[in-house]
Amino acid sequence: MILVEPTPSVVPIGNRALIARERAQAARAVLADCHLCAHHCGVNRLAGEQGLCHAGAEAKVFSAQLEVGDEMELLPTFAIALSGCDLRCSFCITGAESWNPRAGEPLCLVTLAARANAAVKNGAQTVMILGGEPTIHLPSVLEIVAALPPSLRLIWKTNAHGTALARNWLEGLFDLWLADYKFGNNHCAERLASVPRYQEVVRENLVWASHHSELIVRHLLMPGHVDCCWEPIARWLAAELPAVKVSLRSGFWPGWRAAIHPELTRSFSLTELRSAWTIARNYGLRLVE
C-alpha cells in the first residue's frame, strides 16, 4: 500500500497577516451567537452571556515563553497560552488557568509580537498558540496571527473539539496542527471531561486537519486507560489516518482534580507504557518523539 501525505493548503507567506486581519474583524461578530466549539452554546459573549467555557469577548494570556517540552520537531517553540477551555478534563495539567478564562494578563498584540520576535532571535523555530483551548478565543487568535511576522512557522495546539465554523476561520493560517485525541470512547470522555459526542467531533476535525495542514495527533496515556482509550484510538488512526504522525505522551501526572477518579490517582506505569508501545507497533503507527 502506498501512503501519500495530503498536500496542506497553507496560504502564501505574504498573505497570512492580511487574511488573518480580515478574518479577525469578521470573526468577532461570531461571538454574538457563539458556535466556535462543539458544545454549540449559542450565547452572546459580546453581551456578557457565558457558555460552558465561561469565556468573555476578550482573551487573556496566562503564559508566553520559550519552551522545549513539546514534540522535538517543533522545538524550541515560543508558546502563547490563552486561558479558558471548552472541556472540563479533571486531570488537566493547567487546570487553574484552563478552567478560568480570566486567568492571566490581557492580550497586548504589540508586546506579544515583540516577545515572539525576541524568542526567534533567541532560537525559537516555531510559535505555538495553545490554551486551555485557543479555539474559544478565535477572534483574538486571528489578531495574534495578524500581528506576528508572516514568515514564522505557526503551530496550532488544540483539543480538536472545534466546529466547522472555527475550522473555516483557521484554514491555511497554521503550518501544523498539534491535535489531542484524548479518549478512545465516549463514555470515558463524558466521565473524565464532561464532553458528549467526543468521538464524532474529534474524528471529523482530525480528518479535516490531515487534509488542510501538517498534523501531529497527540495522545496522553492515562493510567488504566490503555485498553479502553489508547487501543481504539490507535486502531482508528491506523485505519483512517495511517500516514499521520502520532505523539504518544507518557508524562501523566495526577494533578488538578484527577483524584476524583480512582484510576487517575497514580502516574502511568512502565508495564502500561510497554503495552501502549506494543499497540502502536502492532498497528504500524508513525510515532514521533
Partner 1 sequence: MTELLIQADGTVFAHNLTPALAELLSTLNPSDEMMKQRACAIKPQSSDELPART
Q: Which is nearer to partner 1, 52 or 66 (CB)?
A: 66
Listed in sequence order, the residues at least 6 apart from 213 whose beta carbon sits closer than 8 Å to its beta carbon are 8, 9, 10, 156, 174, 175, 176, 177
Give the shortest CB-144-to-partner 1 separation in angstroms. 16
CB of 262 to partner 1, least distance (A): 18
* Contacts for 8 with CB less than 8 Å, ≥ 6 apart: 175, 211, 212, 213, 214
What is the C-alpha to C-alpha distance for residues 214 and 71, in angstroms, rounded to an integer? 14
From candidates 83, 98, 126, 159, binder to partner 1 by CB under 8 A = 126
Q: Out of 13, 26, 164, 243, point to the residue binding partner 1 (CB under 8 A).
A: 13
Closer residue to partner 1 (CB): 37 or 264: 264
Nearest distance in Å: CB 5, partner 1: 13
Indicate whether 267 belongs to the interface with partner 1 (CB under 8 A).
yes
| Residue 243 lies near partner 1 (rule: CB under 8 A) | no
Contacts of 278 (CB under 8 A, 6+ apart): none
Identify the residue among 76, 172, 224, 232 touching partner 1 (CB under 8 A): 76
Is 66 among the residues that bind partner 1 (CB under 8 A)? yes
**Nearest distance, CB of residue 66 and partner 1, angstroms:** 6
Judge if the upstream peptide bond of residue 232 is cis by omega within 30 degrees of 0. Answer: no
Q: How far is the CB of 120 from partner 1 (least distance, A)?
A: 6
Q: Does 114 engage in binding with partner 1 (CB under 8 A)?
A: no
- Contact positions toward partner 1, by CB under 8 A? 10, 13, 63, 65-69, 72, 75-76, 79, 93-94, 120-126, 149, 151-153, 175, 251, 253, 255, 267, 289
